[in-house]
Amino acid sequence: MTTTETPAFLYAQIPYRDAPAALRWLERAFGLTTTAEWPDDEGGIQHAEMRRGDAVFTVFTDRAGYDRAQPRGESVGLGLVFALGSPAEVDDIFRSAVAAGAEVVFAPTDTEWGNYRCRVRDLEGYEWTFGTYKPGEPQEWAGDDQVD
């Protein structure tokens, strides 16, 4: 018998206190598409799936009262990152997110490692980064403190 190895991929699951409202906000703010949505018996979401391109994550109603990471300085140090195709896409999502009420962590800017990115917090405090960096692809360091 032959077996075919399936490539692994990673997705996140995000609990929202008001998951139905979060789905609509994420669609509006970030241009995401809800591809599946199953309600629970209490008016919340048992399981929903959202995507943009090949990026997929799930959403559900937080009935357990999970802790949210709190900012230490400008960021909570934990969040979701979308790799986009161009700086223009980053700028477009940033404008859309701010118009939808996202809190700005940092506006679009270039980094030393070749990423053009922005970061915002959604209405329940989750951080979302949108940038051009593609993990696993060769990058050039543009900082002054490059190690030889």
What does the pLDDT look like over 126-146, one tens digit per residue? Answer: 999 999 988 877 767 776 654
Q: How many C-beta atoms lie closer than 10 Å to residue 90's C-beta?
A: 22
Q: How far apart are CA 75 and CA 54, in angstroms?
A: 26
**Contact in structure between 73 and 106 (CB atoms under 8 Å):** no
How far is it, in rounded angstroms, from Cα 44 to Cα 63? 9
Rounded CA gap, 11 and 49, in Å? 10
pTM: 0.86
Mean pLDDT of the residues in the chain = 91
If phi > 0 it is left, if psi is from -120 to 50 it is alpha, else beta; for residue 58 that is beta
Asked whether the beta carbons of 83 and 90 are under 8 A apart, the reply is no
Distance (Å, whole) CA 9 – CA 136: 14
State the pLDDT at residue 148.
Answer: 45
pLDDT attached to residue 42 = 95
Q: Say what the pLDDT of residue 65 is.
A: 93
| Cα–Cα dist 43/1, whole Å | 47
- Count Cβ atoms below 10 Å from residue 52 Cβ, excluding itself: 17
